[in-house]
């Protein structure tokens, strides 16, 4: 095996180094994503039971002790349980974005190696063919098969190594992406459940509408004794030039009601009868 690697030349060592990096990244990310996967249903049932008893601090502690992004977004929702529904949803979204970025860390390394490894294999093939042509030129016209073997070995070995590393990196990348997608679905479901729980139990405050300003008090007519003085703005528009429609309201003048005149005449008549 070591002999074949040596025959592959410098390009072979570069391809193998890329494959080793891809293997380390894959193993590290695989175990990280595997630890992040929990039983979301059982976890939420336990958290909801604790919250029904009013033990918010205990629920936060359980979320801190539980690994994975699901526990992290539930913790973010619990910390904002006394806020409005919109604030809780925004906190969940921020926590979810942070956790997804953390799970997808170094995925770009796998994608880069999967794309570069075949190109490195092609480069090794070209260099091997160049070496073969140089051997033919130097040994001509008496060229032996052994003189061409070194270049052909390098061309074939680097191509094979590049394809193997690229396939492994591509498979590892897609496997990790599929696992992250499953966890992302669990996160979305958990976010909806915890938000619905806070809404149904009334733990989150609703956004209050702004209070309407008090209505302006209605204009009250002026009173002097028993007489009622109507405001000038209530003058009818058909009273001529002095009306509101004409530009100025007529000045109000007190008028004696008819009933007052009758009462006065009755008083005088009574007085006359008394004198008689």
H or E stretch at 146:
helix 145-200
Same domain, 234 and 134: no
Same domain, 41 and 160: yes
Residue that wins the pLDDT comparison between 244 and 193: 193
Residue 216 lies in a domain: no
**Domain encompassing residue 117:** 2-200
Q: Which of 104-108, 190-194, 248-252 has the lowest mean pLDDT?
A: 248-252
Query: Mean pLDDT, to the nearest integer, of 124-140?
Result: 87
Residue 97 lies in a domain: yes
Query: Mean pLDDT, to the nearest integer, of 93-97?
Result: 91
Question: Among 200, 218, 248, which residue terminates a domain?
Answer: 200
Res 181: pLDDT: 93
Res 216: pLDDT: 47
Same domain, 120 and 253: no
Residue 22 banded pLDDT, cuts 50, 70, 90: very high
Same domain, 19 and 122: yes
Residue 224 lies in a domain: no
Residue 249 banded pLDDT, cuts 50, 70, 90: very low
Same domain, 243 and 112: no
In the chain, the percentage of residues whose pLDDT exceeds 70 is: 73
Query: Mean pLDDT, to the nearest integer, of 96-100?
Result: 91
Query: Mean pLDDT, to the nearest integer, of 179-206?
Result: 83
Res 17: pLDDT: 95
Query: Mean pLDDT, to the nearest integer, of 57-85?
Result: 89
Residue 252 lies in a domain: yes
Res 125: pLDDT: 92
Residue that wins the pLDDT comparison between 2 and 231: 2
Same domain, 118 and 246: no
Residue 220 lies in a domain: no
Residue 78 lies in a domain: yes
Residue that wins the pLDDT comparison between 44 and 247: 44
SS (H, E, C) the chain: CHHHHHHHHHHHHHHHHHHHHHHHHHHHHHHHHHHHCCCHHHHHHHHHHHHHCCCHHHHHHHHHHCCCHHHHHHHHHHHCCCCCHHHHHHHHHHHHHHHHHHHCCCHHHHHHHHHHHHHHHHHHHHHHHHHHHHHHHHHCCCCCHHHHHHHHHHHHHHHHHHHHHHHHHHHHHHHHHHHHHHHHHHHHHHHHHHHHHHHHCCCCCCCCCCCCCCCCCCCCCEEECCEEECCHHHCCCCCCCCCCCCCCCCCCCCCCCHHHHHHHHHHHHHHHHHHC
Res 224: pLDDT: 41
pLDDT digits (tens, 9 = 90+) for 166-178: 999 999 999 999 9
Structural domains counted in the chain: 2
Over 90: is that where the pLDDT of 179 sits?
A: yes
Same domain, 160 and 258: no
CA distance 151 to 143: 14
Same domain, 156 and 251: no
Over 90: is that where the pLDDT of 163 sits?
A: yes
Same domain, 66 and 179: yes
Same domain, 61 and 158: yes
Residue 249 lies in a domain: yes
Residue that wins the pLDDT comparison between 165 and 253: 165
Residue 208 lies in a domain: no
Same domain, 91 and 161: yes
For residue 100, give the nearest of 193, 194, 195, 188 by alpha carbon: 188
Same domain, 119 and 241: no
Residue 202 banded pLDDT, cuts 50, 70, 90: low
What does the mean pLDDT of the chain come to? 77
For residue 244, give the nearest of 229, 234, 254 by alpha carbon: 234
Over 50: is that where the pLDDT of 227 sits?
A: no
pLDDT digits (tens, 9 = 90+) for 228-243: 444 444 344 444 444 4
Res 203: pLDDT: 56
């Amino acid at each position: 095996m070591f002999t074949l690697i040596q025959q592959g030349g410098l390009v072979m060592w570069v391809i193998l180094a890329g494959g080793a990096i891809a293997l380390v990244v894959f193993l590290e990310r695989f175990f990280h994503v595997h630890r992040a996967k929990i039983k979301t249903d059982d976890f939420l049932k336990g958290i909801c039971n604790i919250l029904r008893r009013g033990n918010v601090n205990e629920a936060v502690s359980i979320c801190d002790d539980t690994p994975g992004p699901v526990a992290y977004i539930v913790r973010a929702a619990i910390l904002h349980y006394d806020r409005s529904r919109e604030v809780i949803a925004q906190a969940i979204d921020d926590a979810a974005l942070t956790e997804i970025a953390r799970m997808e860390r170094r995925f770009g390394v796998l994608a880069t190696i999967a794309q570069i490894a075949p190109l490195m294999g092609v480069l090794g093939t070209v260099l091997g063919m160049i070496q073969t042509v140089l051997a033919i030129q130097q040994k001509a016209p008496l060229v032996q098969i052994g003189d061409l073997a070194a270049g052909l070995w390098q061309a074939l070995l680097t191509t094979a190594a590049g394809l193997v590393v690229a396939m492994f990196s591509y498979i590892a990348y897609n496997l990790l992406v599929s696992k992250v997608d499953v966890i992302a679905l669990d996160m979305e479901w958990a976010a909806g459940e915890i938000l619905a729980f806070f809404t149904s139990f009334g733990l989150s405050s609703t956004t209050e509408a702004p209070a309407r300003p008090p209505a302006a008090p209605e204009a009250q007519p002026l009173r002097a004794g028993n007489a009622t003085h109507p405001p000038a703005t209530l003058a009818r528009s058909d009273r001529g030039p002095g009306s509101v429609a004409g530009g100025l309201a007529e000045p109000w003048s007190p008028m004696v009601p008819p009933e007052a005149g009758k009462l006065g005449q009755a008083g005088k008549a009574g007085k006359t009868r008394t004198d008689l």
